[in-house]
Structure 1
Amino acid sequence: MLFRSFFDEQLAHMSYLVGCQRTGEAIVIDPGRNVDWYIDTAKKEGLQIVAATETHIHADFVSGAKELAKRCGAKLYLSDEGDANWKYQYLDEVDYELVKEGSTFTVGNVEFKVLHTPGHTPEHISFILTDKGGGSTEPMGIFTGDFVFVGDIGRPDLLEKAAGVAGTADVGARQMFQSLKKFKALPDYLQVWPAHGAGSACGKALGAVPVSTVGYEKLNNWALQIEDEEEFVKLLLTGQPEPPKYFAMMKKVNKIGPAYLNDEEVQALQTIEQLNEYKANGAFILDVRPSQEFAKAHYAGAINIPFNKSFTNWAGWLINYDQDIVLIANQEDVQAIRKALAYIGLDRVVAYIEPSVALSGEVESYEEIDVHQLQQYLKDDRYYLIDVRNQAEWDEGYIEGAQHMMLGTLADRLHELPENKTYIVQCRSGARSAIGASILQAKGFKQVLNLKGGYLAWTREKLPIVKQS
């Protein structure tokens, strides 16, 4: 048996390719939309991808299962659990088999047994793998998807928080409590292969180690230590991070079936007049340069999301799916940026322009201040401090006088800002606040400052904070 794992660092997404070397067949588990790396790996190993499967209808990225069905002729093994709201709607386009609790299927001599593990979502399933081609009659491991992570478990509140389905968080938490009983009954030696690691918004305390065992999680995972259901539900629902806006769209896209990838070249804009025309027509002007460069000079109206590990997450929060996207980026980075956006279904990248050309038009800038300058400015009512950290961070403590507007919601709350102020944006370290500063300027709030070092710098200087009682 051949086993390969793949990690998308921008979404902390784990996916897997399992191959039977005797038959030359392979399957991909929880594939992301960038299917090239699975196809290339299979080809290198002399395997053919004949199947793909996923543990549930994902909310944080576009599934690559349908793309693999098209490009490789892969048969899809998809969950038949959950009610009518959790059924796949593109099955007439693919070769498929619906599976549920107790189902088994094989790829070559590798067997997969299905375990229904609801809680994160109603249709969620896990796959227990047995390498029968290697002569084993005992299972090797379990693909847990968003059920059990290293050190954490899947959050049950996404339907309620991201999709607005009231009352589902409590139901999901109780389903999760029952599903964990199945997990505890598994052999300790089973390896655990989850769909996410640290950095994902699908849980609140995911570990950075990519693999674990059932026995280790029984000993160390907080969720497996609690025997009382009411205590479990309360702890599971407390402190979950805000789900990105795009999660609701991903559920819809993956249920109805994502569009196939577009390989057409992105138009290169040659003049500032072309960029101005896209801006006038409502396009999202996305500058992906490092925040320090953006702060010094940027095209008026552009929003800065640096192309780093957090890029895809913040793009999902801030870009609307009905908007054209124009990149301010170097040509050599355009395809990688486009792929990262496509991973969450932001497919409307219509053009790009080199930074040097974009800066030939009307430019703006903003300054950074340190915590000692902030301390003085807070005494002056001409300044207005905005804290763009998440709710859990805010609850742990904040700078007196700050107004809390989590970064992902900032653009929707601009009407709450007082007029004619100088706005100081602050986060934990200065990275998210730089994105916030760009949003404010793009939306017409021109007098903007960014707090260098953020809340961490403030506390390092032992300056006063307010703690929630």
Structure 2
Amino acid sequence: MSTFLSTFNRREVLQHAGAIGLGTALLTKFGTIAQAGESSDATQPPSHLVLETIKAGGLSHYSYFIGDKTAGVAVVIDPRRDVQVYLDLAEKHGMTITHAVETHVHADFVSGSRELADRTGTARIVASIEGDPGYGFKLDRPLRDGDQLTVGSIQLRGIHTPGHTPEHMSYLASSKDTGKAWGLFTGDFLFVGSVGRPDLMGVKNTDSLAKSLYQSVQNAYAQLPGELTIYPAHGPGSPCGAGIKAPEGDPTLAKERQGNPYWRMNDEAMFIEALLSAQPPVPYYWPRMKEINLAGPEILGGTPHVQRLKPDAFDRELRSNDMQLLDLRLMQAFAGGHIRGAMNIGYNEVLSMWGGWMLDPDRPIAIVKPAEGNFEDPLDWLSRVGLTNVKVALDGDMKAWINSGREFDSFQTMSVHDVKRQFPTDQMTLLDVRQPSEWDMGHIPGAKYMFLPEIPKRISELDQRKPVIVYCGNGYRASVAVSVLRANGFDARTVPGSWDAWTAAGYKAMKPAKPGKASDTTRTA
């Protein structure tokens, strides 16, 4: 007990697990599966190997390029859909990509394995068939627990780690020449400070998956040395696990055995209750990602093409077709002037996540980009979540639209100082659109809560006769919400800086007496 409490105090554990109310019963169930005398030195790949981590920022997704400089071959683990980055790495290092390896059927992004196989002509698709996933396409190399894949001097041994999904596979990387293990690719099973969520395959499967996850935590890595460096598929900000942390130094299996709260729980019931209580809301688009990846994603052959139109033709296209208009500029530019009815999701990789949440995959999309941005990046970001139906774009930027003499909408913003002076009030609505857990940690007095993705279906709960002042963490999500509200006839305005600015100004925060369940999006002031 004392070893555990030196790493995590009681309050930190309860907050991290989202298990407020479990009380002392929770702490008495902690044990350890750390091994005595474990080395604190992290393993490194042999010098003749290249290991590159590729981060898809908007999804907090990590994929890995592992290459053998001597043999001139490489493997990619959990590739994203826009695969040019892997092709560039292969060219840079003079290597041929021979395999695309999946840890599991992903729910948060479209897999790039089929794309990579098509673009290279050499990459074979490797994935687990444990649990009978039911792929709608042919795997080049189906794997079961204990099977081994050799790429040059790189050996990857599959370790079945079910729980996040039934088929989930981790990969122990070792050297063919020496047999020494140097890395552990943990997919969505083990993250820094967390584990994968077991609630993505419907309520009827959640309990059995949670039990499988507990058994995987207890047993799957039990014989592996603690100095192994771990390489997870996600980092902080991903909804694939609750409370994923950034590593301090090289992340190792020993550090997780000692410090990961889920790795310290040796009571199954407590583990499941704490884990499920901590999970954030499941993004609406994830079941669709799962279906796409099981069936086999459409091969795009590169960045999707978009037709660029001058204002006259762009206007006609908007009027004649059932277009979703997506304005990619940042919130201040959007407030200054935008085409009426546009949804604002700013030019950033997080467009993947919020585009998945907010856009209709069955309707064509028209885009307006910022003057300093390009068209290719947002098309790639959207394609990562299966949004490949961007049909037209305004040639140039918003300036071209304004200079053509067409109408545009604009609105005033409100500073946190104005919010402090105005609220609480019955004359306006102050709306918080952050995650439920963010509201629980502190919110502005007088605010009403509504989770951003739920605004379209709950909009009738807001009084259209009153101005709606919207805030989030820093203003990015607030601008998405305001664009939806203004498209529906509301006088809605953003608070630039939002919660960050409010706290920086030293203003008072409210907290609920008892936090709600992290996945429950209902909150009261």
Q: Give the TM-score normalised by structure 1.
A: 0.92
**Is there any run of 5+ residues in structure 1 with no aligned partner, and where?**
160-164
Spell out the pairing of 1:6-405 with structure 2 (5 A cutoff). Answer: 6-73=54-121, 74-83=123-132, 86-91=133-138, 96-132=140-176, 135-159=177-201, 165-181=202-218, 182-209=220-247, 211-261=250-300, 263=302, 265-272=305-312, 274-330=314-370, 333-353=374-394, 354-359=397-402, 360-405=405-450
- Please report how far the alpha carbon of residue 379 of structure 1 lies from its aligned counterpart in structure 2 after TM superposition: 4.9
> Of the two structures, which has the highest relative contact order with CA contacts closer than 8 Å and spacing of 6 or more?
2
Residue 181 of structure 2 aligns to a residue whose secondary structure is coil
One-letter amino acid matched to 2:131: G
**What is the alpha-carbon distance in structure 2 between the residues aligned to residue 239 and residue 180 of structure 1?**
17
State the alpha-carbon separation in 1 of the partners of residues 250 and 287 from structure 2: 28
Look up the match of 1:418: 463
One of 434, 451, 463 as aligned partner of 2:479: 434
Q: Secondary structure at the match of 1:183?
A: coil
Q: Distance in 2 between matches of 1:361 and 1:211?
A: 55
Supply the RMSD in Å over aligned alpha carbons: 2.0
Per-residue CA deviation, residues 286-320 of structure 1 (Å, 9 max, x unaligned), is 11111111111111111111112422211111111
Superposition TM-score, scaled by structure 2 size: 0.82
Structure 1 distance, partners of 2:417, 2:92, is 57
Q: Given the alignment, which residue of 441, 445, 448 partners 2:492?
A: 448
Please give the alpha-carbon distance, in whole angstroms, between the structure 2 residues aligned to 1:232 and 1:76.
34
- Could you tell me the percent identity over the aligned residues? 36
- Distance in 1 (alpha carbons) for counterparts of 2:325 and 2:179: 56
The aligned counterpart of 2:22 is none
What SS does the aligned partner of 1:19 have?
strand
Q: Partner residue of 2:51?
A: 3
Higher mean alpha-carbon deviation, 216-225 vs 339-348, is at 216-225
After TM superposition, list the pairs within 5 Å mapping 1:450-465 onto structure 2: 450-459=494-503, 460-463=505-508, 465=510
1:328 and 1:358 in contact (8 A); partners too: no
Deviations 1:370-408 (A, max 9, x none): 334334544542312221011111223333442221112
Cα distance, 1:324 vs structure 2: 0.8
Q: 1:401 to 1:369 in 2, by over 3 A?
A: same
Give the count of matched residue pairs.
Answer: 456
Q: Is the deviation greater in 182-191 or in 34-43?
A: 182-191
**How far apart in 1 are the matches of 2:99 and 2:407?**
52
Give the conservation status (yes or no) of the 8 Å contact 1:184–1:218: no
Deviations 1:180-237 (A, max 9, x none): 1222431112111111111211112222239511112111212111111111111111
- Counterpart contact for 1:194–1:211, Cα < 8 Å: no
Closer, same or farther in 2 for the Cα pair 1:457/1:68, shift >3 Å?
closer
**Alignment match, 2:16:** none
Give the deviation of 1:422 after TM superposition. 1.1
Name the structure 1 match of 2:20. none
Structure 2 match to 1:162: none
Gaps of 5+ in 2: 1-48, 515-525
The answer to whether the 8 Å contact 1:239/1:392 transfers is no
Report the AA paired with residue 54 of structure 2. Answer: F
Match for 2:339: what amino acid? Y
Contact 1:272–1:357 under 8 Å retained in 2: no
> In structure 1, what is the equivalent of residue 14 of structure 2?
none
Q: How far apart, CA to CA, are the structure 2 residues paired with 1:380 and 1:149?
A: 44
* Residues 324 and 348 in structure 1, CA contact (< 8 A), matched pair in contact too: yes
- 2-side partners of 1:338 and 1:136: how far apart? 44
Q: Do 1:20 and 1:26's aligned partners in 2 also have CA atoms closer than 8 Å?
A: yes
Deviates more, 1:345-354 or 1:417-426: 417-426
Judged with a 3 Å threshold, the aligned counterparts in structure 2 of structure 1 residues 337 and 464 are, in CA distance, closer, same or farther, namely closer
